Amino acid sequence: MTAITHILDAIDAGDPHAVDQLLPVVYDELRKLAVQWLADEKPGQTLQATALVHEAYLRLVAGPLREHGEQPHFNSRGHLFAAAAEAMRRILIEQARRRQSIKRGGDARREEIDFDHIVAPEPDDELLALHHALERFAEQHPEKAELVKLRYFAGLTADEAAQVLGISPSTGDRHWTFARAWLKRAMSDSKAT
């Protein structure tokens, strides 16, 4: 039994101190996931990987549940990392929306100043377009959308994601192929309009 599984079992058993033991055990993996996420962000990103991990962790285990004395529940390591990836995705979406909001300058973009070149970063349109396309996709194909979240956002392999969803790897591969094509078309359609 891995340390993560042991801690998750202790949380399920009601051990109030087990939640505090979880972050040190999963921190390195969550930080790698956050670095992956932030590597895909456009220049001008002010959020650091460490801050993203801490914010996601707080949302997972120290949020509204702890205020009411409840413990979070994770079925497995995969479930924990899927929930962490979803929390990170939501944090980045919220930040992208804040940057685009009229109150904070609308479509004004932060510019990095280089004495040789002045570079303006690209907008966060691609991340928001993916978010909106994924929401539409989830309405029509919820299981396939969950697969996308596990593979793309949680960084799980095809086999790990299939196991978390309780489907065969070949079904997971078919769902993944369909989802990628659907999302690519939806995002290109949104750019055309």
Ordered structural domains, the chain, with CATH:
1-121 (no CATH), 124-193 (1.10.10)
- Token code pair at residue 24: 């040190």
37: which residues sit within 8 A by CB, 6+ positions away?
52, 88, 89, 92, 153
For residue 113, pLDDT over 70 is answered with: no
Contacts 24+ apart (CB under 8 A), 49-57: 52/88, 52/91, 52/92, 53/27, 55/87, 55/91, 56/30, 56/84, 56/87, 56/88, 56/91, 57/23, 57/30, 57/84
pLDDT at 180: 92
43: which residues sit within 8 A by CB, 6+ positions away?
112, 119, 121, 122
| Residue 33: band (very low, low, confident or very high) from pLDDT cuts 50, 70, 90 | confident
Please, what is the average pLDDT of the chain? 78
Contact 92, 39 (CB under 8 A): no
pLDDT at 46: 66
For residue 109, pLDDT over 50 is answered with: yes
Q: What are phi and psi of 101, to 5 degrees?
A: -70, 150
- Token code pair at residue 170: 């070949």
Query: How many percent of the chain have pLDDT more than 70?
Result: 76
| Residue 121: band (very low, low, confident or very high) from pLDDT cuts 50, 70, 90 | very low
User: Could you say which DSSP state residue 149 is in?
Assistant: I
SS3 146: helix
For residue 82, pLDDT over 70 is answered with: yes
Between 143 and 13, the more confident residue is 143
Task: List the single range of 49-63, 119-133, 159-173 with lowest mean pLDDT.
Answer: 119-133
* First CA to last CA distance, the chain: 52
pLDDT at 122: 54
pLDDT one-digit tens code per residue, 41-59: 666 666 788 888 888 888 8
